[in-house]
Structure 1
Amino acid sequence: MVQDPFKPAARVAGQRQDVWSIVNEAAAAYNQEHGAGSVVNMGQGFFGYNPPAFVLDAAREALGRVECNQYSPTTGRPRLKKALADAYSPFFGRPIDPDTEVTVTTGANEGMLSAFMAFLEPGDEVIVFEPFFDQYISNIEMPGGKVVYVPLHPPANGATHTTSAGDWTLHMPDLEQAITARTRMLVLNTPHNPIGKVFTRAELQAIGDLCVRHNIIILSDEVYDRLYYVPFTRAATLSPEIAALTLTVGSGGKNFYCTGWRVGWLVGPEPLIKYVSAAHTRICYSSVSPLQEATAVAFEQADAHGFWDASKREMKGKMDRFNEIWRELGLPYSEPEGGYFVLVNLAKVRLPADYAFPPHVASRPRDFQLSWFLIKELGIAAIPPTEFFTDANAHIVEDWLRFAVCKEDEVLEKAKERLRGLRKYIQ
């Protein structure tokens, strides 16, 4: 039997159109009608401004050095690994060994893929809290893993009143019931995307103790670890037993406003990290050399520039500035505890009954229609969060949209002005 050479593998076949391409399609149509750059992009979580000068200067300097334009060691440039070890050691309360407990990856996403590739055999199960960052799912399934979803439960009055992201809760019996003999890993995300929840120490302790009891690896996605507005606990700091099972994920792009640099890392015990490093080597060999060097300098100089406190203060200011519009319009939202996303409930917005949505939008939950409508009619892009839910639980957020506030203040003000156009649709 002759096989079709163009038949895709099952892991990429039959997938419905993803949220990013749908949003970009609507934005492109708006820009074509109103002029390039007309859409106010509050959707994808990339920054609307450059890294600070000391970070950009470090990148320029690195590009001028011969050794920074060649292959780096597969586990990362020594200067960056040392900078990361120095940065994390105070948090962990012990010295981190840069040679055996740190590996640098091509963005946090490739780092997480490397972790899954390192430990999953076909049929192994990975627990993921719902809602989830969509890349987790494909990364788990690529090596043959099976995703087991455990929902976070929204506050009962979240659709009618402004609440805290911390009011989204995990029911521990749900988690315990999800664990089987095939459970190999658990993915934790704090501060959480898209909710903005920062898991409390008590919540993390309960999760960590359960993982210790069942010998489950914790992949702790902490890429927003410098943007928290309530007390923040790192999973690996809870106990030596939990630390022994925890891989902590970080992101230079999120830390220093440069998501396009694709510099990420994992920090964890040597018995885990060595296998992540081995998988990373086979996936992409090594990561971008000059930007690793620049990220190292950024860590070395951040404290002297007062960068961490300023970053947190400025992002919280942007969050507060932008969320004024929801209070003005009388629309409830979820007050974030960390990160730079805010979820807003638009149940009061009545879309025109005869509005002509394309079939691939009309067939999706209401938040996709809300997103399309806001782009086409108001020129503002936001992300429908049902993309981060299974179909069974998508109804939880079908009236919500996710907005990213990591933009210039003038863009936030332009977004607020356009959102005032919702008034005539609010009932």
Structure 2
Amino acid sequence: MASVIKPAERVRKQKRDVWSIINEAAALAPKQPIVNLGQGFFGYNPPQFVRDAAKSAVERVDCNQYAPPKGRPSLRKAVADSYSPLWGKDINPDTEVLVTTGANEGMLSAWMAFLDPGDEVIVFEPVFDQYLSNIEMPGGKVVYVSLLPPPDGVVKNSSAAEWGLDMTALENAVTPKTKMIVINTPHNPTGKVFSREELLAIGNLCVKNNIMILSDEVYDRLSYVPFTRTATLSPEIANLTITVGSGGKMFWATGWRVGWLIGPEHLIRYCTAAHTRICYCGVSPLQEGFADGLYLADKTSFWDESKKDMTRRMETLNEIWDELEIPYCKPDGGYMILANFSKVKIPEGYRFPAELEDRPHDFKLAWFLIMELGVASIPTSEFYAEANWDQSHNWLRFAVCKNFDVLEEAKSRLRGLKKYIEA
């Protein structure tokens, strides 16, 4: 009999991921179709000018063949031209921009390029769960520093800005093995936009200790408050910083999987080397779509209109939290809303699947919401280390990048919570 092949430890030790659990619940739920406000994919098409550019590119012979590993020259130049005014300096499209197969592959390329086994990477939790496995893939060790939740967020509405940075905890987390700090601004899942003062404190700490910065800014065009780009703080900080961008987030096309890294040549060239070995290159015609998209968006009011549109979607969903008196956290960026379900009481003896027995209460709340109301959300304990699950405080994450009729249907279904809310 053949022996059982043992998987790698980094895979074997992982619990079943939240996306599988939530999707399974959605498939089993009696109320179909499910209103999916859990995953952050858009419920509507990218803008017409982006789709038209991609369609046109499909008709070109060169756009149906391999792109250069660094990305198509048109997109690298468009990224450089679009970001240079925001950086306050000229970005070199040939040496300082790398086009990647989505932002996620871009970050994996950075970690593959710079992490050796045992190197430590500091992340701020709640932390997007995809970071963790990608850091561990090349042998890195994740070190968690918790953002401090709004002090009264369980009982009243709060702002994402109230998720506080504990600089003492961050400084204490730095060791001789610290290779990188990951910043996510605007932040998923809280919607926090790190202030200039916070970013400067982090950046100066990195300069002092020669620590790299990976600044995940994929929601940068959806910031509703003044937004500071990490790489613009000082030449010394810029020299240590790789910035992550996403065409999919900017142009409502998450399935196109086109992102980019921007940074100094001495960092980007190693990311390019790793990226070339991971996937060689991205999808040619879709890169052309985003290249044209960046130029047209910069020439028009697209960015401002996009913010206004997403703000209306957030306001639409938030009406139900006000109606139910469920506290929520108003985001300063992105399209995720955290609502606190501590007041919602699940009936005594309610049956959950066995795999939820050792999960925090917010997983049970999310399952209950799907089964009883047909509304999917994401429990935020998924974004914490197991040792810190208690800090998730029954927050559920809702994505509002959906059609307005879907948001209205979600509100209608969520009114069914009234009989489960403790006065």
TM-score interval, smaller chain: over 0.9
Map 1:144-223; keep pairs closer than 5 Å: 144-223=139-218
Q: Structure 2: 5+ residue runs without aligned partners?
A: none
Could you tell me which residue of structure 2 aligns to residue 226 of structure 1? 221
Which of 38, 46, 66 is 2:41 aligned to? 46
Asked if structure 2 preserves the Cα contact closer than 8 Å seen for 1:365 and 1:398, the reply is: no
- Structure-2 separation of matches of 1:235 and 1:303: 21
CA contact (8 A) 2:380 2:394 kept: no
1:147 counterpart letter in structure 2:
V
C-alpha RMSD of matched pairs (Å): 1.1
TM-score, length-scaled by structure 2 = 0.98
Given that residues 62 and 294 in structure 1 are in contact (C-alpha distance below 8 angstroms), is that contact kept between their aligned partners in structure 2? yes
**1:280 and 2:252 correspond:** no
If the length of structure 1 is used for normalisation, what is the TM-score?
0.97
Q: C-alpha deviations, 1:33-69, integer Å up to 9, x for none?
A: 444xx10000000000000111111111111111101
1:27 and 2:35 correspond: no
1:15 correspondence with 2:10: no
What residue ranges of structure 1 are gaps of 5+ in the alignment?
Answer: none
The residue number in structure 1 matching 2:366 is 371
Please say if residues 340 and 394 of structure 2, whose CA atoms lie closer than 8 Å, have aligned partners that are also in contact: yes
Alignment of 1:262 with 2:257, yes or no, is yes
Distance 1:426 1:19 in 2: 25
Contact 2:310/2:401 (CA < 8 Å) preserved in 1? yes
CA contact (8 A) 1:383 1:401 kept: yes
Q: Counterpart in 2 of 1:69?
A: 64
Deviations for 1:228-257, whole angstroms, at most 9, x for unmatched residues?
111110000000110110000000100000
Q: Is the 8 A contact 2:79 2:93 kept in 1?
A: yes
Distance in 2 between residues matched to 1:231 and 1:369, nearest whole Å: 37
1:313 aligns with 2:308: yes
Letter in 2 for 1:363: D
Change (3 A) 1:310 1:362: same
Cα distance between partner residues in 1 of 2:37 and 2:200: 34
Aligned with 1:16: secondary structure? coil
Q: Matched residues in 2 for 1:416 and 1:423: separation?
A: 12
Conserved? CA contact 1:318–1:405, under 8 Å:
yes
What is residue 131 of structure 1 aligned with on the other side? 126
What is the SS of the residue equivalent to 2:344? coil
Q: Distance in 1 between matches of 2:37 and 2:28?
A: 17
Indicate the larger mover: 392-401 or 269-278: 392-401
Q: Is the aligned partner of 1:326 residue 2:325?
A: no
Report the 3-state secondary structure (helix = DSSP H, G, I; strand = E; otherwise coil) of the residue aligned with 2:250.
helix
Is structure 2 residue 353 aligned with structure 1 residue 358?
A: yes
Q: Does 1:114 align with 2:109?
A: yes
**1:42–1:232 CA distance, 2 compared to 1 (3 A):** same
Inter-partner Cα distance in structure 1 for 2:2 and 2:332: 52
Report the Cα offset of residue 4 of structure 1: 3.5
SS in 1 for 2:147: strand
- Percent of aligned pairs with the same residue? 64
Cα deviation for residue 305 of structure 1 reads 3.8
2:415 is aligned, of 411, 417, 420, to: 420
Once the 2 structures are TM-superposed, how far is the Cα of residue 391 of structure 1 from its aligned partner?
1.3
Partner secondary structure for residue 12 of structure 1: helix
4+ runs deviating over 3 angstroms: 2-5
Alpha-carbon separation, structure 2, partners of 1:257 and 1:202: 31
Task: Describe the shift of the 1:230–1:174 C-alpha distance in structure 2 as closer, same or farther (beyond 3 A).
Answer: same
Q: Per-residue displacement from partner, 1:64-92 (whole Å, max 9, x unpaired)?
A: 11110100000000000000000110011
Aligned mates of 2:384, 2:356 — CA distance in 1: 17
Q: What is the identity, as a one-letter code, of the residue corresponding to 2:167?
A: M
Separation of aligned partners in 2, 1:378 and 1:123 = 45
Q: In structure 2, what residue type is equivalent to 1:400?
A: W
Measured after TM superposition, the shift of residue 303 of structure 1 is 2.8
8 Å CA contact 1:132–1:389 kept in 2: the answer is: yes
Could you say what secondary structure the match of 1:401 adopts? strand
| 1:249 match: secondary structure | strand
Equivalent residue pairs, number: 422
Give the CA deviation at 1:398: 3.9
Quote the offset at 1:266 in angstroms: 0.2
CA distance in 2, matches of 1:209, 1:51: 38
Deviations 1:366-418 (A, max 9, x none): 11000000000000000001000011211122411000000011111110110
Deviation at 1:362, TM superposition (A): 2.9
Q: Deviations over 1:264-317 (max 9, x none)?
A: 100000000000000000111001111111110111111334211110110011
Shift of 1:6: 2.6
